[in-house]
Structure 1
Amino acid sequence: MNPSDILVTDQVAIVTGGANGIGEGIALTLARFGADVAIADVDTEKGRQVVAAIQALGRRALLVPTDCADTGQIRSMVEQAAGHFGRLDILVNNVGGSRQTDFLEQSERSWKRHIDLNLVSMLAATQASARAMIAGGRGGTIINIASSEGLRAAPGYAVYAACKAGMISFTRTMALELSEHAIRVFALAPDMLVTPGLQPYYDAATPGEAAARDRYIPLGRLGKVEEIGSVAVFLASRMASYLTGVTLPVDAGTLASSGWTRLASGGWALYHD
């Protein structure tokens, strides 16, 4: 291995939901490490800003306006991106969303919207992108952005968590089915990150709530979207050439803690406020 093996120079990536939050962080980090990036997002105004930022890094970029709850639009987006750049090497299935709702009060329409956006979108993008990668004959990397909620109970987010758990299971199966084509498949399971969507929640926390939150996180702080991007770069690079089928909790240790909380006085205790 050489230091240059961490680079993804001249690889072409698609990032769904790449205009904001985790998707934006991944798209920009991939570009910093040499990739050309297609952004698939319904937010065209913010998507154009991300494209400009990627181009300012000296990489090619493309915005394909896409409602990722529409499988037809997803397939068309993959075709456009692969045709524009002449190849496809990396797919990041990042698009998703949730709304806190008690399951007994949640409508069937809401179930289906969650499933279409969080799970079906991944199926469509994976199928279309894998076919493009196979046609290119160079293999590729598929990275599914799951969630810590797919690995634990999530009261108030039952359907969302079920979708993310399905994503994690799908990751393992695709790692086997696509291995003969040199396509490696991964999932990342982030937890508490600083994103535009979550920032109001953090801002509303009292000093006591913020302190309790930081004690809940073993590394003691919220994550940055670029830190998810750095793991995505590693997985897409030659440094991870012997990895596939794994889910990485990029969560500062919250999954490992499983109820253990750091005490203000030092040390750890179970279920301590």
Structure 2
Amino acid sequence: MVLKRDAASLEGRVAVVTGGGSGIGRGIALGFAEFGARVAIWERDADTATAAAHECGGLACVTDVRDPEQVDAALATTIETLGVPTILVNNAGGVFWSGILDTSPGGWDALIRSNLTHVLLCTQRVARAMTAADVGGSIVNVTSIEGTRAAPGYGAYAAAKAGVVNFTKTAALELAPHGIRVNALAPDVTATEGLAGLAPEGWEERTGHNIPMARVGHVDEMAGAAVFLASELSTYVTGQTLHVDGGTSAAGGWYHHPDDGHYVLGAGV
């Protein structure tokens, strides 16, 4: 088999992106549309869902992906309007500070539901549709670098994201006989509109000292990795977590010293 340049094309494919109204999800949705996919945005914020769908010429499904009935309804609407999805990106999630000594059962449950439970729910529903139509497909779960390292103050979030990494491996094995590949993307700091609105001036330059590539990531770089995993460029890749993080996961504690740029082991700022 000779690799063809159109292996990156998503023409004729239907893609679902959860949490696709803003940030990384929106970037991935726009990237998919650029490569020819018809995109359904599953997003609980009606305004951002509609805006993102308009940008990518897709379908807005106002959906809380933590709710099984809403997921079922969104999937039915997607199939009726666009066709059976052959691409799913489980991107929805949320985080808040929750130290181990202060985490309540309710707070723990909220973070697990927001970052892990819906991954099972959406994967299960969409994979059932894929298998019923005998079309195969690609599922991409957005986890985080916090799923593979300690995260003081964010234990529940990190546990959920670690769960996504392991769930990705198990789902890959179970779904492989059905022609469905399952992989994950693990970003570090990625510049989004939400982060830009909260971070102090100069945060990107300061944060860059902590990243081997000396800068924060961009949503388009996450989109590029998602297109790779969704397309025929990665037909033999499954069960993997791809770190789109500028080298942070590889660094293992090494940082650029802010004065001279040389690597030091320890805090870089």
Q: Classify the TM-score, shorter chain.
A: over 0.9
* Aligned twin of 1:53: 55
CA contact (8 A) 2:100 2:153 kept: yes
Q: 2:243 is matched with which residue?
A: 249
2:6 counterpart (1, 4, 9): 4
Structure 2 matches for 1:1-273, cutoff 5 A?
1-55=3-57, 61-202=58-199, 204=200, 211-263=205-257, 264-273=259-268
Q: Is the 8 A contact 1:142 1:185 kept in 2?
A: yes
* Structure 1: segments with no counterpart, 5+ residues: 56-60
Q: How far does residue 97 in structure 1 lie from its aligned partner after superposition?
A: 0.3
Structure 1: distance between partners of 2:120 and 2:159: 15
SS in 2 for 1:178: helix
Rounded Cα–Cα distance in structure 2 between residues aligned with 1:27 and 1:142? 14
| C-alpha contact (below 8 Å) 2:205/2:215 kept by paired residues | no
* 1:106 positional shift: 2.0
Cα deviation digits, residues 29-65 of structure 1 (max 9, x gap): 000000000011111111111111112xxxxx11111
Moved over 6 A (4+): none
- Give the CA deviation at 1:212: 4.1
2:204 and 2:215 in contact (8 A); partners too: no
What is the TM-score normalised by the length of structure 1?
0.93
* Offset at residue 214 of structure 1 (A): 1.1
Counterpart of 1:105 in 2: which secondary structure?
coil
- What's the CA shift for 1:266? 3.9
One-letter amino acid of the structure 2 residue matched with residue 221 of structure 1:
R
Instruction: Give me the CA root mean square deviation.
Output: 1.4
Normalised to the residue count of structure 2, the TM-score between the two structures is: 0.95
Structure 1's 266 and 46: CA in aligned 2 closer, same or farther, altered over 3 A? Answer: closer
CA distance in structure 2 between the aligned counterparts of 1:244 and 1:201, rounded to whole angstroms: 36
User: Following the alignment from structure 1 to structure 2, what is the Cα–Cα distance between the partners of residues 103 and 74?
Assistant: 32
Conservation of the 8 A alpha-carbon contact between 1:88 and 1:136: no
Are the counterparts in 2 of residues 146 and 189 from structure 1 also a CA contact under 8 Å? yes
Q: Secondary structure at the match of 1:63?
A: strand
Residue identity in the other structure for 2:179: A
SS of alignment partner, residue 28 of structure 2: helix
Query: Aligned with 2:40: secondary structure?
Result: strand
Name the CA distance, whole Å, in 1 between partners of 2:206 and 2:56. 37
Percent identical: 42
* 1:103 partner SS: coil
